[in-house]
Amino acid sequence: MTNNIKRIAVFTSGGDAPGMNTAIRAVARTAIYHDLHVYGIYGGYDGMIRGDISRLELRDVGNIMQRGGTILKTARSKEFMTVEGRMKAAESLKAHDIDACVAIGGNGTFTGALVFSEEHNIPFVGLPGTIDNDLYGTDYTIGFDTAINTAMEAVDKIRDTADSHNRLFFIEVMGRHSGYIALHTAIGTGATNVFLPEVPNSIETLIGELRFAAKRHKLFNLVIVAEGNEGGNATELAAIVKEKAPEFDTKVSVIGHLQRGGSPTCSDRVLASRLGYASVEALIKGKKNVAIGIVNDHLTYTPFEDAIHKVKDLNKDLINMAQILAT
C-alpha cells in the first residue's frame, strides 16, 4: 500500500440508479480483501451529517447485486451545501476514523465531494451512478443500460396498442438535461422521431414527416420525447400536433420513474463491479478527487473539476442514424 488508508466509507447520493447495490458490494468486498474496514453511510450527505454510519461486513452486502435502488438509501442534502453542514459531516467521519470515501452518484454528488474534500482534506473518489448517462469521463454510467432497456420494453408494449388503433403516441422518457435515454430508446424501438434537449426540433417538420408516412400507409407512429426537451414535454407537443394536424389520433404516455427501478442488467452489474473494485484500488494507490469511468473499455480517472464542468455530447452519428432509419 502506498497510502495509509485503513478505513473507507461508501455512500450513494442523488437519484437512485439500478446497479448502485452492485457497486456497494464491490467496494465492500474489495476493501475487506485488502484488510480495510469499510463503512456504509446511510442517506447520502444527510446521513454523513447525522452520523448514520455503520460498518459493513461480507454478510451485509450478500444477495444485493440483483436488487434495484440502494440499500444505503439516498437523498439530496440542502444542509450539506452550507459550511456548517459540511463541518458536521467532517466531525461524523472523524468520529468513525474514516480515512477516505467512495461517492456513488452524479454531478451534484461529485460537486459536494470536491468541495468537502478541499475543505477537510479527506480523499474522495466518485463512481458515476445516474441513469442519465450525462457525466463526462465515462462512456456509460451505472444504471443507464437498465433504464434504456426498461424504456424500450415499455415502448414495445405501447407499440402494440398504437398498431391496433392506428394511433400516434408521444412517449416521454427521463432526461431533464440529457437526451441519452431518449435517443437510445428511439433507436431501439424504431421510433418515427425523437425530441432531445440538445438538438432543436420542429413541430412543422414532425407533422410533415407524419403526413409523408401516412401517404405510405404507415398506420401508427411513435415519437420519443426527453422530459427536458426545450420545445415542450410530451403532453405539450401532443397538444400542438393535435391542433395543427387533427387527422392524427394522438395519445400521450409518460414512462416516469419506472426507468429508475428494477433489477440491473448484466451490463450494469459488470460496470458497477468494475468501478467499485477500481475505487478501492485507486484510494489505496493514493488517488483522490477523481471520478472513475470506462472509456473504450479502459479504466479512466477524471478530475472532479472536469467531470463536473465538461459536457458529454451526444454522438452525432447516432442522431443522424436515428433520423435515417426512421424514414
pLDDT, average across residues 285-308: 97
**CATH architecture for segment(s) 145-261:** 3-Layer(aba) Sandwich (3.40)
Is the pTM higher than 0.85? The answer reads yes
Q: How confident is the model at residue 1 (pLDDT cuts 50, 70, 90)?
A: very low
Predicted pLDDT of residue 95:
98
Q: Where are the alpha helices (DSSP H) in the chain?
A: 20-33, 44-50, 83-95, 107-120, 144-165, 180-189, 203-215, 234-244, 266-284, 304-309, 316-326
The pLDDT-based confidence of 172 (bands split at 50, 70, 90) is very high
For 66-121, what is each residue's pLDDT tens digit? Answer: 999 999 999 889 999 999 999 999 999 999 999 999 999 999 999 999 999 999 99
Which of 304, 17, 326 lies closest to 187 in space, CA to CA?
326
- Average pLDDT on 302-312 reads 97
What integer best gives the mean pLDDT of the chain? 95
Distance CA 6, CA 99 (A): 7
Task: Give strand pairing partners of 268.
Answer: none
Helix axes 234-244, 203-215, angle to 10 degrees: 60
Cell triple for 319? 442522431
Q: Which amino acid is at 140?
A: Y
Which residues are 168's β-sheet partners? 221, 250
Distance CA 153, CA 89 (A): 41
C-alpha cell at 45: 450527505
Among 132, 134, 145, 268, which one carries the catalytic annotation? 132
> What average pLDDT score do residues 189-212 get?
93
- On whether the CB atoms of residues 182 and 225 are closer than 8 A, the answer is yes
The rounded percent of the chain whose pLDDT value lies above 70 is 99
Query: Residue 225's pLDDT is what?
Result: 98
| Domain residue ranges of the chain, discontinuous segments joined by + | 7-143+264-309, 145-261
Is there a common fold for 7-143+264-309 and 145-261? yes
132 catalytically annotated: yes
pLDDT tens across 239-276, in order? 999 999 999 999 999 999 999 999 999 999 999 999 99
Q: How far apart are CA 83 and CA 217, in angstroms?
A: 63
For domain 7-143+264-309, which architecture applies? 3-Layer(aba) Sandwich (3.40)
